Amino acid sequence: MPNCPKCAAEVAAEDNFCRVCGSFLHRQGQRPRSNTVQQLISEYRQAIADNPDDESARYSLGLAYLYEGQPAAAAEQLVEVTRLVPDFADAYAKLAIAFS
């Protein structure tokens, strides 16, 4: 059985994410990380540092983390979005994806 490269927990061959730490399990043939998305992540993090209550930047950061295969980081941002804007339905939908 393979192991997670981040926490070394055993993972099933068909798993996309580590069940222990939530890390994306990069598989051969899957898309590589995007430099553009990494730049956006940096910009969204700066926007949040400047204004922690910016739900738009937090939502966008959560989406970028999902795209990059970082569901735990995405969930953290999306939970905060739902706290800031309790009726933001799309944030709940993306949060469900992050937790799946």
Mean pLDDT, the chain, as a whole number? Answer: 88
Query: Are 20 and 40 within one domain?
Result: no
Q: How many CB atoms lie within 10 A of CB 18?
A: 21
3-state DSSP call for residue 48?
helix
pLDDT for 96 beyond 90:
yes
Residues paired with residue 17 on neighbouring β-strands, in sequence order = 24
Query: Are 24 and 41 within one domain?
Result: no
- The pLDDT of residue 23 is 76
Domain that holds residue 60: 35-99
**Which CATH number fits the domain that encloses residue 51?**
1.25.40.10
- The pLDDT of residue 32 is 55
pLDDT for 86 beyond 90:
yes
Structure confidence by residue, pLDDT tens digits, 11-44: 887 777 788 887 777 665 555 567 888 899 999 9
Query: Are 10 and 52 within one domain?
Result: no
Query: Are 45 and 88 within one domain?
Result: yes
Q: Is the separation of the CB atoms in 69 and 26 below 8 Å?
A: yes
Q: Which of 73, 40, 78, 43 is nearest to 59 (CA)?
A: 78
Query: Are 17 and 61 within one domain?
Result: no
pLDDT for 51 beyond 80:
yes
